[in-house]
Structure 1
Amino acid sequence: MFAIGAHAQGSVTLFGIVDGGMLFLSKTQNASGSNGGKLTGFTDSGQVPSQFGLTGTEDLGGGLTAEFKLESGIDIGNGGYNDSNGNFFGREANVGLKGPFGEVKAGLQFSPFFNTLFDLDPRALSQFGSSLPIYLNYAAATGVFNANSLSYSSPRIAGFQGSLMYALGGQAGNFAAGRQYSASLSYQWRGLSIEAAFYDGNPGGTVQTNPPSTLGFEGRMVGAVYRYAKLTAKASYTNYKVAGSGVNNDVYGGGLDYALTPDLDLDGGVWYTSNRNDRSTHALMGAFGASYFLSKATTLYAQVGAADNHGSSDLGLEVGDAPTSLHAPAGTTVGADIGIRHVF
């Protein structure tokens, strides 16, 4: 009876995204790091991660709302996990409170650093040809899915809004193992937004996933977004530093999104990466995408791109078929994908 009464005061929503298509890559990287040949095949999550989940809210009165979110990545190619850190509901699993003071959440959640990366990416962190393959190539899932975490996001005051997150490693006798923290700050004025974020995480802790989601990773980011009518321009600088891997990479990126018609959206971006420890290791990636909205729920899309690797750089174009598509051999790799996305 108590459970029924509590449910009646709130709401629970089932949501999801189903995304799949065909992928072509002119090169792939084999186990030895050399050219493994062309790839033509089905791809799950060609543009955005396929996923499903539950969200719930309860109005507590006085402007205070209780909330929860459970989100799992799925692979529509085989029905298994994908983009979910190896766990059921491995994308998000948290509970919190929201009110005039802002929002507090506890549990598995995205870091402020990763959320800022999304805000500053001209292609909305597409699975193909965006800041996302760069991030995952360098730091895997560290800083994306943050377990055992507590966060606070402030309301926007005089144009400023900030977020803080602290994740506990949970390892007895070693408080620093698996410890992660992140923060972001943004300022909005008319069509201009300036954003900055950082992330610092230690390896270890009690959260065990495959691959490990807690590398020794430090990230720093700053960028700007400008919106005018149907056009949105974005530019950013990010530094990725991963302990023990030799990764200390600067990434400069930018691009445009233009709503050509109510049914057709075009976007494109370019990213240049360079290793501070070895300037001969660098890469240039560019991608262009078009999305045609058949309805509010169903979208057809096409994407093309190229990544040019030098030195020991192995930047790939696409996330969905990792590691085959997330890493690429030296030289230029060209790719394209077409697909369909449905949200519910």
Structure 2
Amino acid sequence: MSKKLLVSALTVAGLMGISDAAQAQSSVTLYGIVDGSILYTSRTATANGGHQFSMTDSGMTASSFGMRGSEDLGGGMRAIFELENGFSVANGQFNNSNGGMFGRQAWVGIDSKFGTVKAGVQYSPFFLALYDMDPRAMSYFGTGLVSYLDNVLITGLFNSNSITYTSPEIAGLQASGLMALGGTAGNFQAGRQYSASLRYHIGGFTITGAMYNGNEGGTAVPISTVAFVGRTLGASYRFPNDLAIYASYALYKVAGSFSNSVYSGGFSYFVKPYLNVNAGVWYTHDGAHIGGESNHSIMASSGVQFFLSKRTTLYGQVGYVNNSGLMDTGLSVNNALFGVRGSTVGASLGIRHMF
């Protein structure tokens, strides 16, 4: 081998070694969910109020794709990031993504033994506490997610301009806090949001409390900034036989408008490793009595998931909602978020694939 070829070979080998070392210290993962279903509701909030059959994007979980990555910085410290997009399997357009390429999540941060700091578009501790205590894992049909969006849209769910800190778990306790800046010159209060949570678990028992305060305005367009105060307290217990039970309370106090209290409870049970059955009930009451009426609703739903594999799931969901007064609770995030006075029943059949 000539000296030139030998030098070239050693150079390539060296670069490959550097590349292998870099790959061992950092990683990027592409992930996603594709979820589509058929939705039926006996009544709708449209002009004619009749029943509907529709192809629905994200019948149980948001269809999305994203990237997450990390780099080992040494000393137990990592640089981390995540970018997540939401899309519709029905038409291929943006959906559940706030109209942005990465409207669901877009953050960068540092993770260490002292906790995790992140900056960018991310979920609030208030929403994550609600998610943690939902018996049906915040399905897009008949869960606390429908109630959340019905009350305050996506305010407090996706938070732009935000900085969060999550502590390590110490003796079963873990705390998290968020501050989102409005970005309006000369007006610190416009669009400002803050949230905090405290979680404790021991064995199968978990209790979580969280708060949220947010103002309207700011530069976080098109992300929603409804001015509201949120509070929640919930508990769950997971038995050794894969049965989990849940109970929680949530308050949505919208400035100058309603003050809805939501009481919920339910269970999730893995009958077999490939078969999950879950159910929940959500009772909502407007303490502000907007319109001088007794405004309340009750929503009940149940779901079955059959796991064809670790990645592919067939599911069925049924639900019932009854609205009194001015309450407008619906059954499905997509195509039936708001409901009409009286009783409505609905069902959803779909398939979800995760990659």
TM-score, normalised by the number of residues in structure 2? 0.92
C-alpha displacement at 1:284, in angstroms? 0.2
State the aligned residue count: 334
Match runs of 1:231-242 below 5 Å: 231-242=243-254
Match runs of 1:282-297 below 5 Å: 282-297=296-311
The answer to whether the aligner puts 1:334 opposite 2:345 as a matched pair is yes
Q: Which whole-Å deviations, capped at 9, do the CAs of 1:256-314 have from their partners, x for residues lacking one?
A: 00000111000000010000011610000000000000000000000000110000001
Amino acid aligned to 1:305: G
Match of 1:11 in 2: 27
Return the alpha-carbon distance in structure 2 between the equivalents of residues 21 and 153 of structure 1: 35
Match runs of 1:44-123 below 5 Å: 44-123=57-136
Q: Which whole-Å deviations, capped at 9, do the CAs of 1:208-256 have from their partners, x for residues lacking one?
A: 11xx511101100001010002100000000001113x22001000100
Return the alpha-carbon distance in structure 2 between the equivalents of residues 240 and 4 of structure 1: 51
Amino acid aligned to 2:200: Y
Change over 3 Å in CA distance of 1:6–1:177 after alignment to 2? farther
Match of 2:10 in 1: none
Which one of the candidate residues 98, 123, 143 is aligned to 1:130? 143
Return the alpha-carbon distance in structure 2 between the equivalents of residues 319 and 333 of structure 1: 15
TM-score, normalised by the number of residues in structure 1? 0.95
Return the alpha-carbon distance in structure 2 between the equivalents of residues 111 and 226 of structure 1: 23
Structure 1 unpaired stretches of 5+ = none
Of the structure 1 ranges 164-173 and 7-16, higher mean CA displacement relative to structure 2 is found in: 7-16
What SS does the corresponding residue of 2:127 show, helix, strand or coil?
helix
Instruction: Tell me which stretches of 4 or more aligned residues in structure 1 moved more than 4 Å.
Output: 3-7
What SS does the corresponding residue of 2:219 show, helix, strand or coil?
coil
Match of 1:198 in 2: 211
Amino acid aligned to 2:346: G
The structure with the largest helix share of the pair is 2
Return the alpha-carbon distance in structure 1 between the equivalents of residues 110 and 190 of structure 2: 28
Amino acid aligned to 2:141: F
The answer to whether the aligner puts 1:166 opposite 2:166 as a matched pair is no
Change over 3 Å in CA distance of 1:83–1:231 after alignment to 2? same
Return the alpha-carbon distance in structure 2 between the equivalents of residues 337 and 178 of structure 1: 36
Amino acid aligned to 2:201: Q
Change over 3 Å in CA distance of 1:30–1:261 after alignment to 2? same
Amino acid aligned to 2:86: G
Residue identity over aligned pairs, in percent, reads 53
What SS does the corresponding residue of 2:111 show, helix, strand or coil?
strand
